Structure 1
Amino acid sequence: MFDRLEDILIHFEELQAELSNPEVINDQKRFRRLMKEQNDLTPLVEAYQAYKAANQNIEDSLAILEEETDEDMRELAKEEMAESKKRIEELEQEIKILLLPKDPNDDKNVIVEIRAGAGGDEAALFSAELYRMYSMYAERRHWKTELVSVSENGIGGFKEAVFMITGAGAYSRMKYESGVHRVQRVPETESGGRIHTSTSTVAVMPEAEDVDVQIDMNDCRIDVMRASGNGGQCVNTTDSAVRLTHMPTGIVIYSQTEKSQLQNKEKAFRLLRSKLYDLELEKRQNAEAAERRSQIGTGDRSEKIRTYNFPQGRVTEHRIKLTLYKIDSIMDGDLDEIIDSLIAADQAAKLAKMNEV
């Protein structure tokens, strides 16, 4: 591991030298690529440098203990050595995590689909609340949310909602949200006060770029029509909505939230690229089924991942058996504690698998 870290440190220093080269600075494409590589390596390099400094502190403390006769100085050296040893243990764990293979999609924006499942109108109302929860979470992280299409049920619920989240590291955190979300509460329409259970399915896909997926236009059919549902000026009065059908896969995408047909078409193709990319990722993950099962958050979308129990004020994350009694703040977008715990569990599973090899 330490030979590898030394190689990384040398490469990092070479990167820094390259980035100060005027030729590289003038080549913006290369400069951006090297800057990204430098930024990706910085946390690992800083952790390794801190590890080396802590090791040096231990050597210095041992030298003091061998030479020094003054008891106060010896006591200080012992304290310094104990602190450095503790720091080394922490840094070793941090370095192991930083050395784990990084998901190449982690830095991508995401496309999220929420669909009402079992429970009729109550499931649709919960889907609308999930959309609000993710929108507020995105706001907390200074990400941008953009609605692509929505199918409403007439009482404020969403039968289906598709939206994009744009921001640094969006996929690295949002990918843990894929799966079935279950709600338990007394619906407003329930006169007997009985608790109902409903579900919504969330699918999170990394946004694909042109280089990730090539689309043959001969495989696509584009239909234009008037947008339905609520809309501002021009949205419902012109043929601005776009239905895009990808014939080889049968994927149908409906985009209606923009005023112009061109913008809706562009959004539809962005979503199609991501869906095709997601299908390819799924094939790859199925081929590596054992590895997939060992990781948190990359399971099947039919898996029940979380329960929101309103009468008890609790949210239970089933994958890691975490229960939090703060449902109101979670529904207001306070998701970091859940997602941080999922990331930690995922890293622990990967480390355990790495140690087996």
Structure 2
Amino acid sequence: MALAARTSRPLGEVLVEQGVITPIQLDEGLQRQRLTGDMLGRILVSLGYCEEQDIIEALGVQQGMDRVDLTKLSIADEVIRTVSGDVAKFYNIIPVRIVMGELVVAMADPLNLQILDDLRQITGMEVRGAVSNPEDVQASWKKNYAFEAESIGKMLDELKEKVGEAELSLEELGMQEVIGDTENLIELAQQPEVIKIVNLIFLTAIQKRASDIHFEVYEDDFRVRIRVDGVLQETVRPPKAACVAITSRIKVICNMDIGERRLPQDARIELKIGDSVIDIRVSTLPTLYGEYVVMRILDRTAVRIDLNQLGLGGAVFKHVNKTIQKPNGIMLVTGPTGSGKTTTLYACLNVLNKPDVKIITTEDPVEL
């Protein structure tokens, strides 16, 4: 009952209590809300009374989460060890304490409750969220995980010890009719080792600024390749036994039909990994030996949409700038995957985007 009471507290009351806004500013925001019907948080941000992060933190408190100040906390080693450094970085969280067997984690994004579900699977513990902010979480990560660097190779060794090199039988998987039962496939995708290896593959691809990830299954092999600067390079070779589990995990993340393996599927999702907002387009293709998965990655925070920062040579820059200023015409931008075609076009639009200019784009798909 106490939690329900906390959940029902108005957002404005939480913001005033935290000292983010004053009662007078709240009244002004409420008056404007009655006139416009817009959300209170959006109104307060537009008025300049608070930042978007303030609203996110207040909404977390509104949901019954505690607020923690990571800058003043000394976290015990045994608590830090409950979550590996790569997992903490992937989800942008820091474990802060264990209370009655329940792990409390400080979250940069307290509204993303899926994180708590994943952490329960990974740690095998009950997990409760606490409100923090991206800056404090990042600083605490550097402080507490400075000497830890979990690698995909280490995770693969642990995975191979558990599942072996060969294709697992149904009995070895400990399930009945794993391939035919959707519920069993979901359970398989939620195994801690599977979650961690998929997360680490994502992190590696983003750190190397890869444009896409390829999960390729063959008769006796399963490998993962990423495309960097237009060139495919192999990263890891997970055991063939993990193929169904890893593919199922990707489908769960992308809200695909996990039970459909005979038809191609496409999906698009947005993930927040550390400080990066990642758009991912996913395609699956049935093959003779399993499903082939390709993930197209677009890191919004890494995209430079300033024409001056694209590295164009002096003559080319002048020519492009002159071309886009013309009242009509067509400009073709060509190149291999990941070469910067979309970034170049968006940078050109950014130059033309002025209050007195109307811009309509036709895009398939919309990438930024």
Q: Would you say same fold, with TM above 0.5?
A: no
| TM-score w.r.t. length of structure 2 | 0.22
| Larger-Rg structure | 1
Q: TM-score, with normalisation over the residues of structure 1?
A: 0.22
RCO (CA 8 Å, sep 6+): is it higher in 1 or 2?
1
